[in-house]
Chain A
Amino acid sequence: MSLLRIEGLWKTYHDHAVLRGIDLEVAPHEVVCLIGASGSGKSTLLRCVNLLETVDDGTIHLDGVEITDVRADPDDVRRRMGIVFQAFNLFPHMTVLDNITLAPRKVHGVGRAEAEERARELLGRFGLADKAGAYPDRLSGGQQQRVAIIRAMATRPRLMLLDEVTSALDPELVAEVLGVIRELKESGMTMILTTHEMGFCREIADTVCFLDEGVLLERGTPGQIFTDPRESRTREFLKSVLDARRA
């Protein structure tokens, strides 16, 4: 059974349709990469899955239960997934350790000692062991984003949503964040990520989806999408991205 099932999803802002009938299934342990131009609706799709946006039509099922049901408890839904934002969104008034342990302690009822032990273990795994007591503004962008990923993982989510997690980073800091995502995949985490890093997308994704003006135009394996895209729009997009990289 699929972990996440999106059917006929529509989202509009005022008169502008951002998502137009999206269908997408994600199997357990699958890594789905969403690609497409800015404004194609990738981020909106992730925000809809996390219920940060209310959908205008269609359904989303998580573990076979509809989460877009009006009676569903959004807090309960969000407890089962983690989302990481482009701008990190760490809590600036809390140390790294408190950022990570806030949700486990206050939402999941884990004791302080246990929550901190897990947080330190995760920090150690991702090379941030010495940053536990630091405040976010003392960290580099790459370190902040790694903390944000650890914060989202600390509650052991079923599904991770990663929204342009490297776009706000200096080029030399991108690699360290991608390394963390690679580790996540190895640990079997189910993920949906949006990215502009085509090389990384090709390496990490099981499935690549190309979004164009709110429509999921094409989906396939990285090999198929990158070497032999069916749609001319996909081909144009990949060509423009590669040209930009060369320039």
Chain B
Amino acid sequence: MAEPSSGPAAGAENARETGAAGAENARETGASGAENAPATWVKSERQLQRERSRRIRAVRSSTIATVSTIVFLGVVAAVVTRSPGWPRVRETFFSAEAFARSWPDVVDGFWTNVQIFLIAEPLILIVGLLVALARNLRAPVFFPLRALAVAYTDVFRGVPTLLVILLVGFGVPALNLQGTPTNEITLGVIALTLAYGAYVAEVFRAGIDSVHPSQWAAARSLGLNHGRTMRYVVLPQAWRRVVPPLLNDFVSLQKDTALVSTIGVIESLRQAQIYAASKFNYTPYLVSALLFIALTIPMARFTDYLAARSQRRRGQ
């Protein structure tokens, strides 16, 4: 029994000594290494050759990409312009004159889309977050709230956005209740908020669930209650993870603002429709489409950028 008695204690002693000595050595080699390093770096012949062949390969790749793109676009253009209905399509969809004449009205309508989008977005964030938090409440007092949150997400994720807009746009004013909004834009914002709030709530919930249980354990063990753990530890981490999917939903929301035209809001799509109906020319639709693209592409790129950035961070 003498062996095991001396073994462990001596082992720990040694570990400590080697630990300290190891750190000492590391510092010394670090210092001397810097002094011995060559002052300038002359690239070897092998490296220069490597870089030359990489340059050649890069030029070849971009040439192939350019040529294949030109050929592809040429084929598409040839197929479209040689189709029997092309002259007719060019006249009704690509008329420069109609483009110029409808531009001011369609742009004017587009500001309504932007307005709806800018008001709806913060509202959706608030609704989504509250619903996600309600679903996470565990205390029995909050059962009705939790049940309501579940019912809300189930219903509004299931009903097509267009239907929600029609039901809210025509149903709410029909109630004739005092204080209910009658303005179409307000009703449109409410409908979009209801429809998108359900999606965003699920995104938030997924983000909250993705925070590892050990973070909850660490926070609770410090005496933080459920609410404080959520606020200071879980939500800040969840938020960073949900920003890219949230922005993706907002790109989709920007397009769907056009759906409120169905309840009588004169926005970009409706303006284009009015023009198309009176002049029998569909070019204003193209104007409207271009405006939407101009809004969504930067947003989509920004989303990609954020997603790539969080990917990089996680990779560290």
Which chain A positions have C-beta within 8 A of B8? Answer: 198-199, 201-202, 226, 242, 245
Which chain B residues (1-52) contact chain A, with CB distance < 8 Å?
1-5, 7-13, 15-16, 18-20, 22-23
Q: How far is the CA of A227 from the CA of B5 in the complex (A)?
A: 5
User: What residues on B are CB-neighbors of A111 within 8 Å?
Assistant: none
How many angstroms from the CA of A57 to the CA of B52 in the assembled complex? 74
A interface, how many residues as a size bin? 35 or more
Judge if B220 is at the interface, Cβ distance under 8 Å.
yes
Q: Does B277 contact A (CB under 8 A)?
A: no
Given A198-B11, A199-B15, A242-B7, 4 other A-B contacts at CB below 8 A? Answer: A75-B223, A103-B224, A172-B19, A226-B5
How far is it, in angstroms, between the C-alpha of A172 and the C-alpha of B22 when the chains are bound?
Answer: 8
Q: What per-residue 1/0 map shows which CB atoms of A131-160 lie under 8 Å from chain B?
A: 000000100000000000001100100000
Closest chain B residue, CB of each to CB of A151: B222
**How many contacts between A and B, using CB within 8 angstroms?**
106
Contacts of A125 in B (CB 8 A): none
Q: How many residues of B contact A (CB 8 A)?
A: 37
- The main secondary structure of chain A at its interface with chain B is helix
Shortest CB–CB separation between residue A214 and chain B, in angstroms? 21
Q: Chain A, 178-207, contact with B by CB distance < 8 Å: what is the 0/1 string?
A: 100000000000000000011111110000
Q: Is A82 an interface position by the 8 A CB rule?
A: yes
Assess whether B214 is interfacial by the CB under 8 Å rule. yes
Residues of A close to B7: CB separation below 8 A: 199, 242, 245
Tell me the complex Cα distance, A201–B19, Å. Answer: 18
> A54 interface residue, CB < 8 Å from B?
no
Known: A107-B228, A137-B316. A227 touches B214 (CB 8 A): no
Complex formed: what's the CA distance from A150 to B133 in Å? Answer: 31
Give the residue among B4, B233, B237 with the most A Cβ atoms within 10 A. B4
Which residues of B are at the interface with A, using a C-beta cutoff of 8 A?
1-5, 7-13, 15-16, 18-20, 22-23, 214-215, 217-225, 228, 232-233, 236-237, 240, 316
Q: Which of B4, B8, B16, B215 has the most CB of A within 10 A?
A: B8
Chain A to chain B contacts (Cβ below 8 Å), 29 pairs = A50-B221, A75-B220, A75-B224, A78-B221, A78-B222, A89-B217, A91-B215, A91-B218, A91-B219, A93-B236, A93-B237, A102-B232, A106-B224, A106-B232, A108-B223, A137-B316, A155-B222, A172-B19, A172-B23, A178-B12, A198-B8, A198-B11, A199-B7, A199-B8, A199-B12, A227-B2, A227-B5, A228-B1, A238-B4
Per the bound structure, the CA–CA distance linking A199 and B7 in Å amounts to 8
User: Separation in Å of the A78 CB from the closest CB of chain B?
Assistant: 5
Complex Cα distance, B11 from A200, in Å, reads 9
B274 → chain A closest CB, angstroms: 51
A79 CA to B12 CA in the complex, in Å?
Answer: 33
User: Which of chain A's residues have a CB closer than 8 A to the CB of B2?
Assistant: 227
Closest chain A residue, CB of each to CB of B11: A199
Q: CA separation between A90 and B214, bound complex, in Å? A: 9
Judging by beta carbons under 8 Å apart, are B13 and A199 in contact?
Answer: yes
Q: Are A91 and B221 in contact (CB under 8 A)?
A: no
Residues of A contacting B19 in the complex (Cβ-Cβ under 8 angstroms): 172, 174-176
Q: Name which residue of chain B comes closest to A148, CB basis.
A: B218
> Could you tell me the distance between the alpha carbons of A245 and B233 in the complex, rounded to whole angstroms?
39
Top 6 A-B pairs, shortest CB-CB distance: A199-B12, A175-B19, A79-B223, A89-B218, A199-B8, A103-B222
* Cβ-defined contact, B15 with A171, below 8 A: yes
Partner of B218, one of A79, A85, A200, A203: A85
